[in-house]
Amino acid sequence: MTRLNKFIASSGLCSRRKADELIAEGKVFVNGKKVTELGFSVEEKDKVVIDGKLIRPVKHEYYKFYKPAGYITTADDEKGRKTIYDLLPENMYSLKPVGRLDKDSTGLLILTNDGDLINQLTHPSAKVPKIYIVTVEAKMHKADFEKMAKGIEIEPGKIAYADISVLESDNRHTTMQIVLFQGMNRQIRKMIEYLGYEVKSLKRIQHATIQLEGLKRGEFKPIKPAQIKELRNFLSRNNA
């Protein structure tokens, strides 16, 4: 027996949290009967239908991908811009990115059809660390880093924070490692622009326990089962 919300999430349709919402809203039918009980369980032979569509579990796939600059993190774009799916084989089109990187940014994207894992990694309450290497074409100062650590209002009512470690610095540039625990749109660029600087390059090198290491730009490779297990253990400890 499998909990209904887990069964739905295993189809890649949505996370368990969203599945619970669909159940509570009366949108889920099991063997032709509406189910609104959140703790309801199903067997493999049961027919689960949502909005007239038969739901079936799928085998979960997990990849890491080195996004190059010049591509947006989406499946379709009304403006006709290049997307990351232009670089991926057709059998990976059903995989979704965990979070985003803007067009000019590079680095690690996790791609999966595991909606539950996507939710665990991106939900605002999770506070999962993401690590970046960022270069600014100017000398930044200690006071700038302190402001980023204390928080900068990048949008009305939205305070962004960042942990900074300086890797290289001279009169012309500053290269630093930045750790984020939030997931705001263009967060690093907006923080640095607020301080009067401009980002020259931005690369994500790690998301939770998954690292970019071992990939060239535009390359992808499956994430090993042992690494997924390590990731799940990390998320379990992080949410405890």
H/E element, 172: none
Provide φ and ψ at 232, rounded to 5°: -65, -40
Helix (H, G, I), strand (E, B) or coil at 134: strand
Q: Which residues contact 229 (CB under 8 A, 6 or more apart)?
A: none
Catalytic, 102? Answer yes
**In the Cβ-directed half-sphere of 187, how many Cα atoms lie within 13 Å?**
23
| Phi, psi (degrees; rounded to nearest 5) at 191 | -65, -45
The CA-CA-CA angle for residues 215, 207, 11, to 5°, reads 95
Residue from 76, 102, 116, 144 carrying the catalytic annotation: 102
Q: At what angle do helices 115-122 and 16-24 cross, to 10 degrees?
A: 110
Q: Which residues are catalytic?
A: 102
